[in-house]
Amino acid sequence: MAASTSSAAPPTTAAPPVTPSPSASPTAPPGKPGQTKPGLLPPVVDHGPRTGNLVALTFDADMTDRMLAQLDKGSVTSYANVRIIEMLERDQVPATFFLTGKWVQRYPELTARLAGNPRFELANHTFGHQAFTAGCYDLPRIPSAAMTEDVAKTFKIIERYGGRQTRYFRFPGLCHDRAALRAMSPLGLTVVDGDVVSGDPFATSWKPIVNAVLKKVKPGSVIILHVTEANARFTDEALPHILRGLAERGLQPATLSEVLAG
Quickly state the pLDDT bin for 30 (edges 50, 70, 90): low
d(CA 252, CA 246): 7
3-class SS of residue 200: helix
DSSP 178: H
Q: Could you tell me the pLDDT band of residue 262, with boundaries at 50, 70 and 90?
A: confident
Please write the tens of the pLDDT for every residue from 48-75: 999 999 999 999 999 999 999 999 999 9
Q: Which helix (H) or strand (E) holds 164?
A: strand 164-169
- Secondary structure of residue 188 in the 3-state scheme: coil
Per the CB < 8 A criterion, the answer to whether 52 and 262 are in contact is yes
| pLDDT above 60: residue 261 | yes
Q: Please check whether residue 97 is in contact with residue 141, taking contact to mean a CB–CB distance below 8 angstroms.
A: no
DSSP state of 62: -
Residue 168's beta-bridge partner residues? 190
Q: How far apart are CA 75 and CA 95, in angstroms?
A: 30
Whole-number pLDDT of residue 19: 34
